Chains A and B, each alone.
Chain A
Amino acid sequence: MERSATSPSALTGAVKGNGDAVFAAIVRCSAALILLGLGGMVAVMAWGARGAFARFGPGFVFDKAWNPVTQHFGAAAPMFGTVITALLAILLAVPLAFGIAVWLTEIASARIAGVIGTLIQLLAAVPSIIFGMWGFAVLVPFMAHYVEPLASHTLGRVPGIGTLFRGAPYGTGFLTGGMILAVMITPFICAVMRDVFLSMPAVLKESAYGLGMTRWEVVRRIILPWSRSSVVGGVMLGLGRALGETMAITFVIGNANHIGWSLFSPGNTIASLIALEFPESAVGSLKFSSLMAAGFLLMLISLGTLVCSRLLLRTKAAGR
C-alpha cells in the first residue's frame, strides 16, 4: 500500500545461508495452517452431513419437522429462528450503534468520549454465556411481566401486524433472543462506525457546518453518505456474529423446533439446537448427521455474510 515502492520484504539479507529459507518455510507452513483450519471446518461439516443429505436430499433445508422418534429431520425451523433472531438483532442494534457512534464522535467532548467508548467496548468483552444468564434472570421476567402483556393488549389488536404480537407471554422467544443479540453486537457495529466516522477528513464536516448545517444535517448528508459502505460492512459483521451466537441465545430462545409468526413464540436456532441435542446423539446416527448438516448450513450462511462484510469493508479501505 503506502510503502509499495520500498516494501520491507524487498530488503534481502546480506549474509548468505539457508536461515532465511528455513524461516520462510516455517512461516508459510503456519499460514497454510490457517487455510487448512477453515477449509477443514467446511470439509468436516460436509463429510459429517453426508448421511442426512443422502437421506433427505435438498428438501432437508425446507423441511419443518424435527422428530427424533420418527427419525425425520429438517432444518427449516432452526434456520428460520437463526435468521429471524439475527435480523431482529440488527434492526435493534443498528440504530443504537449509530446513535452511540454519533454521540462519541460528534456530541461528546473527546475526554468523555474516550471513557464512555472504553465502557462500550468492555461490553463486547463480556462472554456470551454471561449475556445468556443476564437475559434469563433479568430480560425474560421483564418481557413476560411487562412488555409482552402490554404489547399483546395494544399492538396485538391492530389488524395486520397484530399476529406479530399475539401469543402467551412466556418471556422467552424470538424477540427476547433478538434483544440479547442486539446488546451483544451493538459494541462491534459501533466500533466500526466510530472508526470510519473518525477517519473522515475534518475539512468536509467543517465546510458543512460553515454553510450553516445543523449537526443532524451534517451526520445525515455528509458523514453517512461518505461512510456508507463501511457502515454496511460493520452491520454485516454484526449480523455474522449474531447468526453464529450460541450460549446467549440458548438461555432465552425457548428451544421449540417450530416456526411461529408471533415475535413472542418460542423457537430455536441452529447453534442452540446443536448445543442442546448434540450430546444426546450417537456418532453415525441419522440425528448426528442431521445436526452436522444443520451446522454445515449455519457455516454457509455465516461465511456468506462475513465474506460480504469483509468485501465491503475492504473496498472502503482501498479507496481511501
Chain B
Amino acid sequence: MTTHTTTAAAQAAPCAGARWQGNSVSDIRRRMVDRVATALCWAATALVLLMLFSILFVLVRNGVGGLRWVTFVHVTQPPGQGGGLANAIVGSLIQTGLAVLIGAPVGLLVGIYLAEFTATDGRLINFVRFVSDLLLSAPSILVGLFIYMIVVVPSGHFSGLAGALALSMLVVPVVVRTTEDMLRLVPLAMREAAIALGAPRWRMILFVCLRAAREGVATGILLALARVSGETAPLLFTSLGNMNWSIAPGRPMASLPVTIYQYAGAAYADWTALAWTGALLITAGILMINITVRLGLGRNRK
C-alpha cells in the first residue's frame, strides 16, 4: 500500500499537469469546499447522535425513579394513590404476543409465496410484494380506524383482540420482507437435492428451505415484535386502554403505549412520572431486542 502511493507521488510530481497538490486559486477553493463538506458530514452525524443520546438521557433521568417494585405489581390507580403499571405491562405483552401469533404465520406464508412461486405467478407476485411494501409504511392510525370499523363497531365493544388484530396488520409486512429475503439466500442446490430425493415441493419448502433460513426468519419476527410493541396509534380505537386489571382478550385492555399517552399529558406529577417510567421500560425493551438481533446477525455473517 505505502509503496504504491510513493511511486504514484513520485511519478506525479515532475508532471506539471497533474496538480493534485496545486496552489492555484481554483485548487485552494476546491480543497476548501472539500474541507467544509467533510466538516458538515461530521456535524450531521454528531447532531443526530446527540439527538439519540438526548432521548436516552431524558428517558433515564425522568424514568429511573419509577423503577420500583410497586410499579410492576400494582395496577394503574387514580392520581395520588400510588398506582403502578402492572395491567399495562401485562396487557402489552398479551396484545403484542397475540399480534405476532396471528401476523407471523400469515407473513411467513406470504414470504414463501413471494420467494418460491415466481415461475407460476410472476406478475401477481410483483403486485403482492408492492402492496406489502405499501402496508409496511401505511399510516398506523388508519390501520386502527380500519380495525375499529370492521371489528369494534360490529362487535359493539373495544377489545384486546381488536388491538392485537390491528398490530398484526403491522407485523405481516415486516415478516414478509425478511422471510422472502432469507428464502432467496437459500442455495438452489439444496432445493434440487430435496427434490431429487423425492420430496414433494411443500416438504422441500417447509423442511429444507425454511429450515435453512430459520435464523433470519426468526430475526424478522423479533424485529416485527419490537416494532409493534411501541405502537400507540393503532391501539387507541381498538383496545382503548383499561384502568383495571384485564387479561380477557374480549374486553378493553390496557397497554403500555396507550397508558403512557394518557398519563404523559396529565397534570398530576405521579402520573407523568409513571408515563416516563413506562416510556423507559418500553424503549429499553425495544432497543435490547434490536441490539441482540443486530449482534446475532453480525456474528452469523462473519
Q: What count of chain A residues pass the 8 Å CB interface test?
A: 98
- From 47 to 66 in chain A, residues with beta carbon under 8 angstroms from any chain B beta carbon are 47-48
A107 engages B106 (CB within 8 Å): no
Nearest CB of chain B from residue A270's CB, rounded to whole Å? 9
- From 54 to 77 in chain B, residues with beta carbon under 8 angstroms from any chain A beta carbon are 54-55, 58-59, 62
Given A11-B195, A44-B149: A20 and B201 interface contact (C-beta under 8 Å): yes
Q: Could you tell me the distance between the alpha carbons of A8 and B205 in the complex, rounded to whole angstroms? A: 10
Stretch at the interface among B36-44, B79-87, B243-251: B36-44
**Besides A34-B106, A45-B146, A186-B48, 17 other A-B contacts (C-beta < 8 A):** A3-B188, A10-B119, A14-B198, A15-B199, A31-B109, A48-B145, A100-B45, A118-B294, A119-B52, A125-B227, A133-B260, A136-B264, A214-B34, A215-B38, A246-B140, A295-B145, A299-B139
B286 engages A303 (CB within 8 Å): no
* 13 sample A-B contacts, Cβ–Cβ < 8 Å, listed by A number: A11-B191, A22-B202, A34-B173, A44-B150, A107-B38, A121-B294, A128-B232, A130-B282, A216-B37, A246-B140, A246-B232, A292-B145, A295-B142
B195 engages A310 (CB within 8 Å): no
Q: With CB as the reference atom, state the residue of chain A lying closest to B237.
A: A278
Q: With CB as the reference atom, state the residue of chain A lying closest to B233.
A: A246
A-B complex: 5 closest residue pairs judged by Cβ atoms: A127-B230, A244-B139, A99-B44, A23-B202, A30-B109
Task: Give A contacts to B, CB under 8 Å.
Answer: 3, 6-15, 17, 19-20, 22-24, 26-28, 30-31, 33-35, 37-38, 40-41, 44-45, 47-48, 95-100, 102-104, 106-107, 114, 116, 118-123, 125-134, 136-138, 183, 186-187, 212, 214-217, 219, 237, 240-241, 243-247, 251, 271, 274-275, 278-279, 283, 292, 295, 298-299, 302-303, 306-307, 310
Q: Could you tell me the distance between the alpha carbons of A24 and B201 in the complex, rounded to whole angstroms? A: 9
Q: Could you tell me the distance between the alpha carbons of A22 and B236 in the complex, rounded to whole angstroms? A: 39
Q: C-beta contact mask, B189-209 vs A, less than 8 Å → 1, else 0?
A: 001100110111111110001
Q: With CB as the reference atom, state the residue of chain A lying closest to B258.
A: A129
Task: Give B contacts to A, CB under 8 Å.
Answer: 18-20, 30-31, 33-34, 37-38, 40-45, 47-49, 51-52, 54-55, 58-59, 62, 106, 109-110, 112-121, 124, 127-128, 130-135, 137-143, 145-146, 149-150, 153, 169, 172-173, 176, 188, 191-192, 195-196, 198-205, 209, 226-227, 229-233, 236-237, 257, 260-261, 264-265, 275-276, 279, 282-283, 286-287, 290-291, 294, 298
Given A118-B294, A130-B283, A295-B142: A13 and B199 interface contact (C-beta under 8 Å): yes
Number of interchain pairs (Cβ within 8 Å):
286
B145 engages A278 (CB within 8 Å): yes
Q: Which of B120, B142, B172, B188 contacts A41 (CB under 8 A)?
A: B142
A306 engages B44 (CB within 8 Å): no
Given A9-B116, A136-B264: A129 and B232 interface contact (C-beta under 8 Å): yes
